[in-house]
Structure 1
Amino acid sequence: MGNKVVTFGEIMLRLATPGYERFSQASEFKATFGGGEANVAVSLANYGIESNFVTRLPENDIARACEMDLKKYGVNTDHIIYGGDRLGIYFLETGAVSRGSKVVYDRAHSAISEIELEMIDWDKVFEGVNWFHWTGITPAISQGASDVCLEAIKAANERGITVSCDLNYRKNLWQYGKSAAEVMPELVAGTDIILGNEEDAEKVLGVKPEGVDVTGGHVDADAYLSVSKQIMAQYPRCKKVITTLRGSINANHNSWSGVLYDGKELFKANNTYQITDIVDRVGGGDSFMGGLIYGLLTWPEKDQQALNFAVAASCLKHTIYGDYNQVTVEEVVKLMNGDASGRVAR
């Protein structure tokens, strides 16, 4: 039986200013679609893994265009449910040099924010599935979205499905009266593979990193060992903790790497990439997660290889416009093995 992955969350219409224009300058926006869990599903589909994206969409032409877009990339949309009034939107202003990018959300009362328990038939969704992925964005949307996310995690746990999570702390999203620290621990308790950075660990799980400085482009990988150990102590189900290491020199130049802790050993990625001319960094973490899931499914006994693949995959994402990481396994392996020349293939 082949691998089959399900991701669950919100997908939005993305409206981005052209080039590096500010919102105040823009007279038009470029329309694409994106969202953390959908981005992971697209990555996996590109790598030849059967991926299924589950969400709730309104019955209108924009939502149909969104579903067609997902299908174009090979993502299965059979378990999407319909209802509600609107698709969420996010506006993106791409930063440059010392001016950071900005995101403005317009997702209140979106179809998925009004989702309720038992709307999704998880028995059907999880047939033949061996991996389920969620992110901390979904329980931040609304109480209903949080409830359904927990419902999915429990259903996956009952079936012995591996559950992964990107903690993805978004302070602007937690608006319905509960904090991440109140909601997330119960969901994380049912999770096997946890991805997060130093802010996620502190804001979501109350785990404070020691001796970590991500300013000035320097990140000390060893400093994350204490964070990983604390997370595993708090959440005994957890088998691996993974941290992306992003050093922000400026908006166009980041260093990029990662570490993985399996409870015994801290694996460091073989490469730290200097991404000097970022095309689009939105979806960078999702592309890492997509690469990681592919790596762990493909090389289950080789955590180092899975980590190297994830870091290389997400490095390539920074060269691609839009939320989705549109790369092949061959392209990732080529970079992973040291070919960063960018020469023309012909």
Structure 2
Amino acid sequence: MGKVLSFGELLLRICPDGEGEWLGQNKLPFYVGGAELNVATALALWGVPSAYLTALPENFLSEQLLEYLQELQIDISPVVIQGERIGLYYLPKGKDLKNAGVIYDRKGSAYADLTPGSIDWDAVFEGVSWFHFSAICPALNQSVADVCAEALQAAADRNIFVSLDLNYRAKLWKYGKEPLDIMPTLALSCDLIMGNVWAANKMLGMPLQEDLVQDIDKDNLLQHATLTSEAILKEFPRCKMVANTFRFDHGPQGIRYFTTLYAQGELHVSQEYVVDTILDKVGSGDCFMAGLIYGLYHQRAPQETLEFATAAAFKKLFIESDATTSTVAEIEETIKAYAN
């Protein structure tokens, strides 16, 4: 197997406190992130050859960031140097990325200004056997959506496995296109699609049966996961596997979490995790995606792959950063500790 190449925008997450104390302290906590970089970081930590493709401006801040990624054992050779600025987003500490308080500051960033024809795919895909991206990329503008299509064509020409995370960010789809205008065409080139039944409906047009999701009944949700997975496999013939995550609030600060992976005609279901208190929801889904890639990269069975990915995502809920710091051994211990 070759390298896993993750494609997306490197972002700095800036975290003001909800009470505004940062103003008097003259300090703003921040984290290095971006959905696809979170995947690349996890894979590198777990020993999978991991490369990252983004665009950054030519300045000292970019140099420091690239040195940091190299220290994490991420191959940064594909990175495009262009433009004037690095993308940002602001999120109160401890809040979910989908929280109404999120503020994006990404317009005109080096990544958002990528254009078709500007990337040497022969060089980028050298030694790559897996390409990963998310629906956040084409949400930025038509040009980046076109670059995604170009990347997928180049990957298909080289028989590279492709994974897609159906991240939906309503605040990003602001250029006159809806997800259904863009995502189904891109999904036709993907081998593994991850999301949930609601995202599959919103972004791929898969049917949503309200009677199965209205009361958050697990058996009904698993039934819907099967229906959605089979619908995706039928609509997108290249797709071989479909993963779904189910994460619900448990009390004022807790989480109830389980996942599924539909592969080889069977729905695999993870063990369920329920806790009363978590620390940070950001990046948990990215960690799940990385866990799927890790398991499949090492040719683990679907159930084993799913349990690893789910435990990795669960542990991320207790880490205050965008990317995980949990080792493979720690994740495997978590599986045992929470086993039913």
Q: TM-score range by the shorter chain?
A: over 0.9
Rounded to whole Å, the distance in 2 between the matches of 1:193 and 1:65 is 33
Contact 1:94 1:102 in 2 (8 A): no
Rounded to whole Å, the distance in 2 between the matches of 1:80 and 1:143 is 21
Rounded to whole Å, the distance in 1 between the matches of 2:248 and 2:120 is 42
CA RMSD of aligned residues (A): 2.1
Contact 1:209 1:224 in 2 (8 A): no
Residues paired across the two proteins, number: 333
Aligned amino acid, residue 246 of structure 2: L
For residues 100 and 152 of structure 1, do their structure 2 counterparts lie closer, same or farther at Cα, with a shift above 3 Å needed? closer
The answer to whether residue 48 in structure 2 is matched with residue 49 in structure 1 is yes
Rounded to whole Å, the distance in 2 between the matches of 1:13 and 1:61 is 15
Aligned amino acid, residue 240 of structure 1: M
For residues 251 and 175 of structure 1, do their structure 2 counterparts lie closer, same or farther at Cα, with a shift above 3 Å needed? farther
Give 1:54 shift: 0.1
Aligned amino acid, residue 305 of structure 2: A
Contact 1:221 1:245 in 2 (8 A): no
Rounded to whole Å, the distance in 2 between the matches of 1:299 and 1:336 is 19
Residue 103 of structure 2 aligns to a residue whose secondary structure is strand
For residues 251 and 218 of structure 1, do their structure 2 counterparts lie closer, same or farther at Cα, with a shift above 3 Å needed? farther
Give 1:214 shift: 7.2
Residue deviations 1:235-277 (CA, integer Å, cap 9, x gap): 01110000011122256211111001125111101x1111322
| Matching residue of 1:181 | 180
Aligned amino acid, residue 285 of structure 1: G
Residue deviations 1:188-234 (CA, integer Å, cap 9, x gap): 00000000112211110111332443777967323211111111111
The answer to whether residue 34 in structure 2 is matched with residue 38 in structure 1 is no
| Matching residue of 2:80 | 81
| Matching residue of 2:125 | 126
For residues 183 and 277 of structure 1, do their structure 2 counterparts lie closer, same or farther at Cα, with a shift above 3 Å needed? same
Residue 14 of structure 1 aligns to a residue whose secondary structure is strand
Rounded to whole Å, the distance in 2 between the matches of 1:193 and 1:12 is 25
Contact 2:94 2:281 in 1 (8 A): no
Aligned amino acid, residue 293 of structure 1: I
Greater shift in the superposed pair: 40-49 or 52-61 = 52-61
For residues 186 and 60 of structure 1, do their structure 2 counterparts lie closer, same or farther at Cα, with a shift above 3 Å needed? same
| Matching residue of 1:261 | 262
| Matching residue of 2:318 | 319
| Matching residue of 1:292 | 292
TM-score by length of 2: 0.92
For residues 85 and 157 of structure 1, do their structure 2 counterparts lie closer, same or farther at Cα, with a shift above 3 Å needed? same
Contact 2:289 2:309 in 1 (8 A): yes
Give 1:175 shift: 1.1
For residues 90 and 23 of structure 1, do their structure 2 counterparts lie closer, same or farther at Cα, with a shift above 3 Å needed? farther
TM-score by length of 1: 0.91
Contact 1:43 1:324 in 2 (8 A): yes
Residue deviations 1:147-195 (CA, integer Å, cap 9, x gap): 1111111111111111000011111101112111101111100000000
Aligned amino acid, residue 309 of structure 1: F
Greater shift in the superposed pair: 329-338 or 309-318 = 329-338
Aligned amino acid, residue 26 of structure 1: W
| Matching residue of 2:247 | 246
Aligned amino acid, residue 174 of structure 1: W
Contact 1:39 1:323 in 2 (8 A): yes
Rounded to whole Å, the distance in 1 between the matches of 2:252 and 2:152 is 36
For residues 96 and 5 of structure 1, do their structure 2 counterparts lie closer, same or farther at Cα, with a shift above 3 Å needed? closer
Residue 140 of structure 1 aligns to a residue whose secondary structure is coil
Greater shift in the superposed pair: 159-168 or 68-77 = 68-77
Contact 1:217 1:249 in 2 (8 A): no
The answer to whether residue 275 in structure 2 is matched with residue 275 in structure 1 is yes
Structure 1 residues 1-346: aligned runs within 5 Å: 2-17=1-16, 21-22=17-18, 24-27=20-23, 28-94=27-93, 102-210=101-209, 211-213=211-213, 220-250=221-251, 252-269=253-270, 271-300=271-300, 302-338=301-337
Contact 2:250 2:274 in 1 (8 A): no
Contact 2:43 2:50 in 1 (8 A): yes
Rounded to whole Å, the distance in 2 between the matches of 1:104 and 1:81 is 25
Residue 109 of structure 2 aligns to a residue whose secondary structure is coil
Rounded to whole Å, the distance in 2 between the matches of 1:299 and 1:334 is 20
Rounded to whole Å, the distance in 1 between the matches of 2:165 and 2:306 is 15
Aligned amino acid, residue 11 of structure 1: L
Contact 2:281 2:317 in 1 (8 A): yes
Residue deviations 1:288-342 (CA, integer Å, cap 9, x gap): 0001100111134x100000000000011111111001111111111122368xx
For residues 93 and 259 of structure 1, do their structure 2 counterparts lie closer, same or farther at Cα, with a shift above 3 Å needed? same
Aligned amino acid, residue 275 of structure 1: V
Give 1:31 shift: 1.8
